[in-house]
Amino acid sequence: MTILKADGIVKYFTEPEKFKVLKGVSFEVAKGEFLSIIGKSGCGKSTLLYILSTMDTDYEGNLEIKGENLRGKTQNELAAFRGENLGFVFQFHYLLPEFTALQNVMMPAMKLGKYSNEEIEHRAIEKLKLVGMDEYARKHASKLSGGQQQRVAIARALVNDPAIIMGDEPTGNLDKANSIKVFDILSQLAHDNNQTIITVTHDPDFANGSDRIIEMEDGNIIGTHFPKQGAKQL
């Protein structure tokens, strides 16, 4: 079942001069798939991810998520859509430093306002357990290590049970041990919870562990690999 469909995505940068970053990218992602996007710096993979994330609206082409066409929606509609359907994990963990780990995880759910506060707290603790961070729930985000913060950030991305979780180099800033932990969590989500994972990564081990790899160069997709089916390893 297709959950995300990108059709002829074209993106220009206007600074410092007009430059075509994405030259008509099209692909589909199935529900429960663990997808990695790889490519050299400047190939446009992060730009593509931010268009898929609905945060960047300045592009040409069509984007459909869960069968909903997202072109022409207002910023506020997109924010609401993100809150309900998308979860993000960034390279620099970006927790709100004044709040505890638990509060950070609860925040998107409280914004969504779908459940009562008690239930949100219960769910948030569940997600923290999933990433092995439940014993740090009451600690301030600024007191946690980088790896711990990234795991809390994943719990935050999960709290609304989004259909798609997007990661911009989620392991880019972590050591080997923490990278493996983060990878295990994400791959478990895809295979056990049937949630879709789309990540941009530089880490070949991370990419080789995913279901499908899309390779990009100069704003185009130049190849698709299925590492688990004995295709070439990166």
Q: Which residues bind other proteins (CB under 8 A)?
A: 46, 50, 53, 55-56, 75-76, 79-80, 82-84, 88, 90, 92, 94-99, 107-108, 110-113, 156, 160, 168
Phi, psi of 75 (to 5 degrees): -55, -40
The two tokens of residue 23 are 């030259």
Q: How far is the CB of 1 from other proteins (least distance, A)?
A: 24
Q: How far is the CB of 55 from other proteins (least distance, A)?
A: 5
Give residues with Cβ within 8 angstroms of 75, minimum separation 6: 57
Q: How far is the CB of 19 from other proteins (least distance, A)?
A: 16
Residue among 75 and 193 whose Cβ is closer to other proteins = 75
What Cα–Cα distance (Å) separates residue 5 from each residue in 128, 158, 173, 176, 224?
31, 22, 29, 33, 16
Residue among 88 and 136 whose Cβ is closer to other proteins = 88
Q: How far is the CB of 42 from other proteins (least distance, A)?
A: 12
With CA atoms as reference, report the closest residue to 37 among 201, 210, 227.
201
Environment class of 98 (CB within 10 Å of its CB; exposed 0-12, middle 13-18, buried 19+): exposed
The two tokens of residue 5 are 């469909």
Residue among 80 and 234 whose Cβ is closer to other proteins = 80
Residue among 168 and 211 whose Cβ is closer to other proteins = 168
